[in-house]
A and B are shown apart, each in its own frame.
Chain A
Protein backbone atom coordinates (compact mmCIF):
# COMPACT_ATOMS: atom_id res chain seq x y z
CA UNK A 1 0.00 0.00 0.00
CA UNK A 2 1.29 3.41 -0.97
CA UNK A 3 1.56 5.44 2.21
CA UNK A 4 0.88 8.67 0.35
CA UNK A 5 -2.91 8.24 0.35
CA UNK A 6 -5.23 9.02 3.21
CA UNK A 7 -8.81 8.88 4.42
CA UNK A 8 -9.17 11.27 7.31
CA UNK A 9 -11.66 13.16 9.44
CA UNK A 10 -9.15 16.00 9.83
CA UNK A 11 -9.05 19.10 7.60
CA UNK A 12 -6.97 18.63 4.43
CA UNK A 13 -3.79 20.57 3.70
CA UNK A 14 -3.32 20.81 -0.08
CA UNK A 15 0.14 22.33 0.15
CA UNK A 16 1.35 19.51 2.39
CA UNK A 17 0.01 16.84 0.01
CA UNK A 18 1.71 18.57 -2.94
CA UNK A 19 4.99 18.92 -1.07
CA UNK A 20 5.00 15.28 0.03
CA UNK A 21 4.47 13.87 -3.46
CA UNK A 22 7.04 15.94 -5.37
CA UNK A 23 10.81 15.55 -5.48
CA UNK A 24 13.82 17.25 -7.04
CA UNK A 25 13.31 15.66 -10.45
CA UNK A 26 9.87 17.20 -10.83
CA UNK A 27 9.16 20.31 -12.83
CA UNK A 28 5.49 20.44 -11.93
CA UNK A 29 2.94 19.46 -9.35
CA UNK A 30 -0.73 19.90 -10.23
CA UNK A 31 -3.22 19.95 -7.38
CA UNK A 32 -6.95 19.52 -7.37
CA UNK A 33 -9.01 20.58 -4.37
CA UNK A 34 -12.64 19.49 -4.30
CA UNK A 35 -14.83 21.80 -2.20
CA UNK A 36 -18.22 21.41 -0.58
CA UNK A 37 -20.50 23.93 -2.28
CA UNK A 38 -23.58 25.55 -0.83
CA UNK A 39 -26.03 24.37 -3.47
CA UNK A 40 -26.82 21.18 -5.34
CA UNK A 41 -29.70 20.29 -7.67
CA UNK A 42 -31.65 23.35 -6.56
CA UNK A 43 -31.19 22.62 -2.86
CA UNK A 44 -29.47 24.83 -0.32
CA UNK A 45 -26.76 22.56 1.06
CA UNK A 46 -25.88 22.91 4.75
CA UNK A 47 -23.06 20.36 4.99
CA UNK A 48 -21.99 16.95 3.68
CA UNK A 49 -21.29 13.83 5.68
CA UNK A 50 -18.85 11.55 3.90
CA UNK A 51 -18.71 7.83 4.56
CA UNK A 52 -15.95 5.56 3.22
CA UNK A 53 -15.11 1.88 3.18
CA UNK A 54 -11.62 2.81 4.23
CA UNK A 55 -9.41 -0.19 3.39
CA UNK A 56 -10.95 -0.55 -0.06
CA UNK A 57 -10.88 3.22 -0.66
CA UNK A 58 -7.15 3.29 0.04
CA UNK A 59 -6.66 0.39 -2.36
CA UNK A 60 -8.72 2.25 -4.96
CA UNK A 61 -6.53 5.35 -4.54
CA UNK A 62 -3.45 3.18 -4.97
CA UNK A 63 -4.92 1.59 -8.07
CA UNK A 64 -5.73 5.02 -9.54
CA UNK A 65 -2.18 6.23 -8.84
CA UNK A 66 -0.78 3.12 -10.53
CA UNK A 67 -3.05 3.58 -13.54
CA UNK A 68 -1.80 7.16 -13.87
CA UNK A 69 1.84 6.11 -13.51
CA UNK A 70 1.35 3.45 -16.18
CA UNK A 71 -0.10 6.00 -18.60
CA UNK A 72 2.20 8.97 -17.85
CA UNK A 73 5.78 7.97 -17.14
CA UNK A 74 7.31 9.60 -14.08
CA UNK A 75 4.00 10.76 -12.61
CA UNK A 76 3.22 10.22 -8.92
CA UNK A 77 -0.27 10.81 -7.57
CA UNK A 78 -1.31 11.29 -3.96
CA UNK A 79 -4.96 11.36 -2.88
CA UNK A 80 -6.38 12.50 0.46
CA UNK A 81 -10.12 12.36 1.14
CA UNK A 82 -12.21 13.53 4.07
CA UNK A 83 -14.79 11.50 5.95
CA UNK A 84 -17.35 12.70 8.44
CA UNK A 85 -18.96 16.09 8.43
CA UNK A 86 -17.46 18.58 5.97
CA UNK A 87 -18.74 22.16 5.96
CA UNK A 88 -19.43 24.51 3.06
CA UNK A 89 -16.20 25.77 1.52
CA UNK A 90 -14.08 23.05 3.10
CA UNK A 91 -11.99 20.67 1.03
CA UNK A 92 -13.46 17.18 0.68
CA UNK A 93 -10.64 15.84 -1.49
CA UNK A 94 -7.09 16.83 -2.38
CA UNK A 95 -5.19 15.29 -5.28
CA UNK A 96 -1.58 16.13 -6.08
CA UNK A 97 0.14 14.85 -9.21
CA UNK A 98 3.87 15.43 -9.54
CA UNK A 99 5.78 15.00 -12.78
CA UNK A 100 8.92 16.09 -14.61
CA UNK A 101 6.68 18.12 -16.96
CA UNK A 102 3.42 20.05 -16.56
CA UNK A 103 1.27 18.38 -19.21
CA UNK A 104 1.46 14.98 -17.50
CA UNK A 105 0.82 16.50 -14.06
CA UNK A 106 -2.36 18.24 -15.24
CA UNK A 107 -3.61 15.17 -17.08
CA UNK A 108 -2.94 12.76 -14.21
CA UNK A 109 -4.67 15.07 -11.73
CA UNK A 110 -7.80 15.24 -13.88
CA UNK A 111 -7.70 11.51 -14.49
CA UNK A 112 -7.52 10.83 -10.75
CA UNK A 113 -10.63 12.84 -9.85
CA UNK A 114 -12.62 11.20 -12.65
CA UNK A 115 -11.55 7.76 -11.44
CA UNK A 116 -12.31 8.61 -7.79
CA UNK A 117 -15.87 9.37 -8.83
CA UNK A 118 -16.07 6.03 -10.63
CA UNK A 119 -14.46 3.54 -8.27
CA UNK A 120 -13.67 4.96 -4.81
CA UNK A 121 -16.05 3.44 -2.22
CA UNK A 122 -17.02 6.78 -0.71
CA UNK A 123 -20.48 8.29 -0.31
CA UNK A 124 -21.84 11.80 0.24
CA UNK A 125 -24.76 12.23 2.59
CA UNK A 126 -26.10 15.65 1.72
CA UNK A 127 -27.80 17.66 4.44
CA UNK A 128 -29.82 20.44 2.89
CA UNK A 129 -32.37 23.00 3.92
CA UNK A 130 -35.40 20.74 4.42
CA UNK A 131 -33.91 17.25 4.55
CA UNK A 132 -31.11 14.89 3.73
CA UNK A 133 -30.28 12.58 0.85
CA UNK A 134 -27.58 10.08 -0.11
CA UNK A 135 -25.91 11.10 -3.35
CA UNK A 136 -25.40 8.13 -5.63
CA UNK A 137 -23.31 8.31 -8.79
CA UNK A 138 -21.59 5.44 -10.53
CA UNK A 139 -21.93 1.75 -9.73
CA UNK A 140 -18.32 1.01 -8.84
CA UNK A 141 -16.72 -1.45 -11.23
CA UNK A 142 -12.94 -1.29 -11.23
CA UNK A 143 -12.77 -3.57 -14.29
CA UNK A 144 -15.06 -1.42 -16.45
CA UNK A 145 -12.71 -0.46 -19.28
CA UNK A 146 -15.27 1.84 -20.90
CA UNK A 147 -15.44 3.94 -17.71
CA UNK A 148 -11.65 4.01 -17.54
CA UNK A 149 -11.50 5.14 -21.16
CA UNK A 150 -13.96 7.95 -20.37
CA UNK A 151 -11.74 9.13 -17.51
CA UNK A 152 -8.72 9.00 -19.80
CA UNK A 153 -10.53 10.96 -22.51
CA UNK A 154 -11.49 13.69 -20.03
CA UNK A 155 -7.93 13.80 -18.73
CA UNK A 156 -6.53 14.32 -22.21
CA UNK A 157 -9.12 16.66 -23.70
Chain B
Protein backbone atom coordinates (compact mmCIF):
# COMPACT_ATOMS: atom_id res chain seq x y z
CA UNK B 1 0.00 0.00 0.00
CA UNK B 2 0.99 3.60 -0.40
CA UNK B 3 0.96 6.45 2.11
CA UNK B 4 1.58 10.13 1.61
CA UNK B 5 4.32 11.46 3.90
CA UNK B 6 4.66 15.11 4.84
CA UNK B 7 7.73 16.60 6.45
CA UNK B 8 8.13 19.95 8.17
CA UNK B 9 10.85 22.40 9.16
CA UNK B 10 14.25 20.74 9.66
CA UNK B 11 12.93 17.30 8.67
CA UNK B 12 11.83 18.76 5.35
CA UNK B 13 15.27 20.25 4.81
CA UNK B 14 17.14 17.08 5.80
CA UNK B 15 15.10 14.91 3.42
CA UNK B 16 14.89 17.64 0.77
CA UNK B 17 11.21 16.81 0.37
CA UNK B 18 8.11 18.34 1.89
CA UNK B 19 5.93 15.56 0.60
CA UNK B 20 6.51 12.09 -0.77
CA UNK B 21 4.68 8.90 -1.60
CA UNK B 22 6.00 5.83 0.15
CA UNK B 23 5.17 2.17 -0.37
CA UNK B 24 4.86 0.31 2.93
CA UNK B 25 3.69 -3.22 3.78
CA UNK B 26 0.07 -3.77 4.79
CA UNK B 27 -0.31 -3.56 8.57
CA UNK B 28 2.45 -0.97 8.97
CA UNK B 29 2.45 1.44 11.88
CA UNK B 30 3.51 5.07 11.80
CA UNK B 31 6.76 3.91 13.41
CA UNK B 32 7.32 1.51 10.49
CA UNK B 33 6.76 4.38 8.05
CA UNK B 34 9.28 6.49 9.94
CA UNK B 35 11.80 3.65 10.00
CA UNK B 36 11.47 3.22 6.25
CA UNK B 37 11.88 6.93 5.76
CA UNK B 38 14.94 7.14 8.00
CA UNK B 39 16.49 4.24 6.08
CA UNK B 40 15.97 6.13 2.83
CA UNK B 41 17.08 9.49 4.28
CA UNK B 42 19.66 8.65 6.99
CA UNK B 43 20.02 12.22 8.38
CA UNK B 44 16.43 11.89 9.65
CA UNK B 45 17.52 9.16 12.07
CA UNK B 46 18.82 11.85 14.45
CA UNK B 47 15.17 12.68 15.12
CA UNK B 48 13.97 9.16 15.85
CA UNK B 49 13.56 9.88 19.56
CA UNK B 50 12.12 13.37 19.18
CA UNK B 51 9.67 13.10 16.30
CA UNK B 52 5.89 13.50 16.62
CA UNK B 53 3.41 12.08 14.16
CA UNK B 54 0.02 13.10 12.83
CA UNK B 55 -2.20 10.86 10.72
CA UNK B 56 -4.74 12.61 8.47
CA UNK B 57 -4.32 15.93 10.31
CA UNK B 58 -4.69 14.53 13.83
CA UNK B 59 -1.99 13.77 16.34
CA UNK B 60 -1.40 10.02 16.57
CA UNK B 61 0.90 7.63 18.37
CA UNK B 62 3.81 6.06 16.56
CA UNK B 63 2.20 2.71 17.33
CA UNK B 64 -0.92 3.65 15.33
CA UNK B 65 -1.65 1.49 12.29
CA UNK B 66 -1.77 3.28 8.96
CA UNK B 67 -3.92 2.54 5.95
CA UNK B 68 -3.59 2.89 2.22
CA UNK B 69 -3.89 6.55 1.22
CA UNK B 70 -3.27 7.94 4.71
CA UNK B 71 -1.38 11.19 5.10
CA UNK B 72 1.39 10.72 7.67
CA UNK B 73 3.06 13.93 8.89
CA UNK B 74 6.30 13.79 10.83
CA UNK B 75 7.00 16.77 13.06
CA UNK B 76 10.27 17.83 14.67
CA UNK B 77 10.07 19.43 18.15
CA UNK B 78 7.85 22.50 17.91
CA UNK B 79 8.74 26.15 18.58
CA UNK B 80 5.65 28.25 18.04
CA UNK B 81 4.81 31.40 19.94
Residues of A within 8 A of B (CB): 34, 50-53, 55-57, 59, 81, 92-93, 113, 116-125, 134-143
Contacts and interface: CB of A to CB of B under 8 A. Distances in A.
Interface residues of B, number: 20
A113 B81 contact: yes
A58 B10 CA distance: 21
Given A56-B57, A59-B57, A139-B50, A125 B9 contact: yes
Interface stretch (B23-31, B36-44, B72-80): B72-80
**The 6 residue pairs across chains A and B that have the minimum distance between CB atoms:** A122-B80, A123-B9, A136-B77, A135-B79, A120-B80, A140-B52
Nearest to A95: B81
A51 B50 CA distance: 18
Contacts of A113: 81
